[in-house]
């Protein structure tokens, strides 16, 4: 039997097989530096695989960002170029096209056909005709090796014409100019242009261009005004309605090379002009001519410094004639006195004072007022020219005799505010609405600026000023039943079909009642018909005339009045029972006799008589013989007084010996 199993003894390592190794000396551990991988006992980094993966990941990320940035940049550049292409081709295509055109083309404006001005019957007063303008391209002339002196001689010969005034030097200057384009002459007769075109000179051409002409000559020249070479209105109605008359200018296109050198070819029309609008005026050509002739005769007869006249339709306010004399500065450069020159009206202003007092119920035509020979207001003494003793006069007599003191006594009942309100209602101190260039509104101070003597002074027509058109409009209030009608100069426009498009209705307002207007009319008739009336020479045979004379001393610039300088005037209407026409006349500084009743009234009579005959107005039933259309002129005036000698008795007022200065309140007899 076998014994117990014996375990083999534990094997032990054989010492013989062990390899001796040098004993390692333990060293103190160094702290692992931050950011440095820990090393193994053999000195190799312990985290190298992890770090490598991180580096590779970072490198891949950095490379991806570069690619994304490049792609984004490429995309932005592509979008930018695409947007630029769209902008150039679509959005701003027109702008760039125009820019390119400007580099190769030069545009010159040339005027359109300017609108015509007609009188109320359709007769032309201002119109444009086709003329020729001669131009030159000096460079083209030089490129063709044409001698400018020889070319100038040929041009001068072709341009000989009575209406062409151009020197040889001016032609040579244009042919040798440094400018790429130059006019030799503008708006010459067309036959001159034809002769120049037949020369066929290189660089020299002819362009049709409108030229302003005035078929009626100098008729109403200051009123119509004129337009310059470029068809721009420079004065008068030509200036006032320039935008309406001018139209839309055309464009003349001249080709040029990229370097700026103009190509010597005929210019072409790039944009045709649009013609201006034609206007029909209220002026009557025949009546205007007659009025101007009569006014010129009066200026010559009385050796006046100037004169003006207005003829107005009483019902519509349309101005039928507006004349100025003389035309010393050239007819078209003379100012239109009736609209631009305001003067103190003198006694014609008394009509407004009387009308206001009548309307307020302060007086009656037959009321008596005790009128003394002198009347003191503050430190000022007012006189009547007649020098009568204290006399009871009716209101009607005060008007007929043009009594200063009687008028002042009536104005004192009215008061400053009342007088000024009525003056303004009659149109003083404000524009008429015509809108004429340099038109004056006159002067009407507020009552806060009035002095102690303003009321009596203004009541008799001093210390206030108005134009002749304003005075005519004020008298039209009486003629038109108490209604103010704004004066007008334009009836309307002419449409494309040749039909008249009427202008808007004039401004209207009721100033006084119709009964007051009728009463004041009867009193104004007495001015002309009464034995002691001041307007006897204003009578028109065949018609009843209502009117008022005026004589005013001229104000001096800076204050005071000019010694011996007066404005004589007369304003009125006819027929008095059914007014058709209003006429106002003024003469500036007539020599010798200067009262309105002796100087202006006869001119009024002639103009009113001619106008009534021209308008075929039926004579008044109880009036005398009808006056001819062109009555003979009044007899010549007496010679002027010799300096230093007293004026004839009754011609001027006798001033207060204590007041040596000229006194406008002491109005001359009208």
What are 586's strand-pairing partners? 308, 569
Examine residue 575 and say whether the peptide bond preceding it is cis (omega within 30 degrees of 0): yes
Q: Is the pLDDT of residue 354 over 50?
A: yes
For 416-439, what is the mean pLDDT? 97
Q: What pLDDT does 75 receive?
A: 83
Tokens standing for residue 2: 């076998």
Cα(666)–Cα(492) distance, integer angstroms: 46
Question: Backbone phi, then psi, for 637, in 5-degree steps?
Answer: -75, 165
Q: How confident is the model at residue 1 (pLDDT cuts 50, 70, 90)?
A: very low
Q: Assign 66 a pLDDT band (cuts: 50, 70, 90).
A: confident
Tokens of 619: 């004579």
CA dist list (Å): 112 to 11, 206, 209, 545: 133, 17, 8, 48
CATH class of 285-615: alpha beta
User: Does residue 90 or residue 275 have the better pLDDT?
Assistant: 275
Tokens of 163: 């209406």
The pairing of strands 581-588 and 124-136 is unpaired
Compute CA distances 202 → 174, 196, 493, 521, 607, whole Å: 14, 12, 45, 75, 60
Q: What percent of the chain has pLDDT over 70?
A: 78
User: pLDDT category, 567, cuts 50, 70, 90?
Assistant: very high
Tokens, residue 493: 């426009």
Residue owning tokens 């960002």: 65
pLDDT band at 429 (very low <50, low <70, confident <90, very high): very high
Using CA atoms, how far apart are residues 381 and 545, in angstroms rounded to an integer?
Answer: 34
Confidence of residue 640 (pLDDT cuts 50, 70, 90): very low
CA distance 154 to 171: 10
pLDDT of 321 over the 80 cut: yes
CA 48 and chain centroid, separation: 96
Domain ranges for the chain? 110-247+265-281, 285-615
146 or 98: which carries more pLDDT confidence? Answer: 146
Overall average pLDDT of the 298-312 stretch: 96
The confidence score (pLDDT) of residue 481 equals 97
From the candidates 133, 235, 347, 454, give the one annotated as an active-site residue.
Answer: 347
Evaluate if residue 9 carries a pLDDT over 90: no
Q: If you count them, how many residues does the chain have?
A: 670
Rounded to an integer, the average pLDDT of 426-444 is 96
The mean of the pLDDT values for the chain is 83
C-beta separation of 159 from 188 below 8 A: yes
Structure tokens at 547: 């009117």
Whether 655 has a pLDDT exceeding 50, the answer reads no
Question: Does the annotation mark 347 as catalytic?
Answer: yes
What is the pTM for the complete model shown?
0.77
Note the pLDDT tens digit of each residue in 279-294.
999 999 999 999 999 9
Are 323 and 376 within 8 A, CB to CB? no
SS (H, E, C) 619-631: CCCCCCCCCCCCC
Residue 473 contacts residue 432 (beta carbons within 8 Å): yes
Supply the pLDDT for residue 160.
92
What does the alpha-carbon distance between residue 253 and residue 269 come to, in Å, rounded to a whole number? 6
Smallest CA-to-CA distance from 588 within 559, 551, 558, 642 is with 551
Q: What secondary structure letter does DSSP report for 376?
A: E
CB 250 within 8 A of CB 272: yes
Per residue in 157-175, pLDDT tens? 999 999 898 888 899 998 9
pLDDT for the residue numbered 240: 97
pLDDT at residue 342, rounded to an integer:
96
> pLDDT at residue 508 above 90?
yes
Task: Provide the CATH topology of domain 110-247+265-281.
Answer: Penicillin-binding protein 2a (Domain 2) (3.90.1310)
* Residues of the chain above pLDDT 90, percent: 58
Mean pLDDT of 132-155: 89
Between CA 134 and CA 293 the distance in angstroms is: 40
Q: How far apart are CA 140 and CA 415, in angstroms?
A: 80
**Is pLDDT larger for residue 646 or for residue 516?**
516
pLDDT score for 80:
80
Judge contact between 236 and 226, C-beta under 8 A: yes
Helices 596-614 and 285-302 sit at what angle, rounded to 10 degrees? Answer: 160
Of 136, 133, 321, 131, give the one whose Cα is nearest residue 219. Answer: 321
Q: Are 571 and 475 in contact (CB under 8 A)?
A: yes
The per-residue pLDDT for 115 is 95
89 contact partners, CB below 8 Å, separation of at least 6: none
The answer, yes or no, to whether residue 91 has pLDDT greater than 60, is: yes
Instruction: Express each pLDDT in 519-532 by its tens digit.
Output: 999 999 999 999 88
């Amino acid at each position: 039997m076998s014994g117990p199993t014996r375990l083999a003894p534990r094997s032990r390592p054989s010492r013989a097989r062990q390899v001796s190794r040098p004993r390692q000396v333990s060293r103190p551990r160094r702290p692992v530096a931050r950011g440095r991988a820990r090393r193994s006992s053999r000195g190799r980094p312990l985290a190298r695989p992890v770090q490598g993966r991180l580096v590779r990941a970072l490198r891949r990320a950095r490379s991806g960002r570069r690619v994304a940035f490049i792609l984004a940049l490429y995309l932005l550049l592509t979008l930018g170029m695409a947007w630029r292409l769209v902008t150039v081709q679509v959005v701003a295509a027109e702008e760039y096209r125009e820019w390119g055109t400007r580099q190769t083309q030069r545009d010159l404006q040339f005027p359109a056909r300017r609108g015509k001005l007609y009188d109320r019957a359709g007769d032309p007063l201002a119109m444009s005709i086709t003329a020729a303008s001669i131009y030159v391209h000096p460079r083209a002339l030089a490129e063709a090796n044409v001698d400018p002196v020889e070319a100038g001689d040929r041009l001068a010969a072709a341009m000989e014409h009575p209406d062409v005034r151009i020197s040889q030097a001016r032609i040579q200057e244009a042919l040798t100019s440094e400018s790429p384009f130059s006019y030799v002459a503008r708006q010459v007769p067309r036959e001159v242009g034809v002769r120049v075109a037949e020369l066929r000179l290189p660089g020299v051409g002819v362009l049709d261009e409108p030229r302003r002409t005035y078929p009626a000559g100098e008729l109403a020249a200051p009123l119509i005004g004129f337009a310059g070479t470029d068809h721009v209105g420079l004065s008068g109605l030509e200036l006032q309605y320039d935008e309406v008359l001018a139209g839309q200018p055309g464009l003349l296109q001249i080709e040029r090379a990229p370097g700026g050198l103009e190509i010597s070819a005929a210019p072409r029309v790039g944009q045709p002009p649009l013609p201006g609008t034609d206007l029909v005026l209220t002026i009557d050509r025949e009546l205007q001519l007659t009025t101007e002739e009569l006014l010129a005769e009066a200026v010559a007869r009385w050796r006046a410094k100037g004169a003006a006249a207005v003829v107005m339709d009483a019902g519509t306010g349309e101005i039928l004639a507006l004349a100025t004399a003389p035309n010393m500065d050239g007819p078209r450069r003379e100012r239109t006195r009736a609209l631009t020159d305001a003067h103190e009206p003198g006694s014609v202003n008394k009509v407004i004072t009387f009308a206001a007092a009548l309307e307020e119920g302060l007086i009656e035509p037959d009321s008596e007022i005790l009128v003394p020979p002198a009347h003191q207001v503050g430190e000022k003494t007012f006189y009547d020219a007649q020098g009568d003793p204290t006399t009871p006069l009716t209101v009607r007599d005060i008007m007929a005799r043009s009594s200063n003191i009687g008028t002042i006594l009536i104005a004192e009942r009215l008061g400053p505010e009342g007088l000024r309100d009525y003056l303004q209602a009659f149109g003083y101190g404000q524009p008429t609405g015509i809108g004429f260039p340099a038109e004056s509104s006159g002067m009407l101070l507020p009552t806060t600026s009035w002095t102690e003597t303003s009321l009596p002074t203004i009541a008799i027509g001093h210390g206030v000023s108005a134009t002749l058109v304003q005075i005519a409009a004020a008298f039209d209030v009486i003629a038109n039943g108490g209604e103010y009608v704004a004066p007008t100069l334009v009836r309307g426009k002419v449409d494309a079909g040749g039909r008249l498009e009427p202008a808007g209705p004039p401004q209207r307002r009721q100033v006084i009642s119709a009964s007051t207007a009728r009463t004041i009319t009867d009193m104004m008739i007495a001015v002309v018909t009464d034995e002691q009336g001041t307007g006897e020479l204003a009578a028109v045979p065949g018609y009843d005339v209502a009117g008022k004379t005026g004589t005013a001393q001229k104000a001096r610039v800076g204050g005071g009045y000019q010694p011996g300088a007066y404005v004589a005037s007369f304003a009125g209407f006819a027929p008095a029972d059914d007014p058709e026409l209003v006429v106002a006349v003024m003469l500036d500084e007539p020599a010798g006799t200067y009262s309105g009743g002796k100087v202006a009234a006869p001119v009024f009579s002639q103009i009113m008589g001619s106008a009534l005959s021209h308008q075929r107005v039926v004579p008044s039933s109880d009036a005398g013989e009808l006056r001819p259309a062109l009555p003979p002129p009044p007899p010549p005036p007496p010679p002027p007084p010799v300096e230093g000698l007293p004026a004839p008795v009754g011609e001027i007022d006798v001033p207060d010996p204590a007041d040596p200065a000229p006194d406008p309140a002491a109005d001359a007899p009208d």
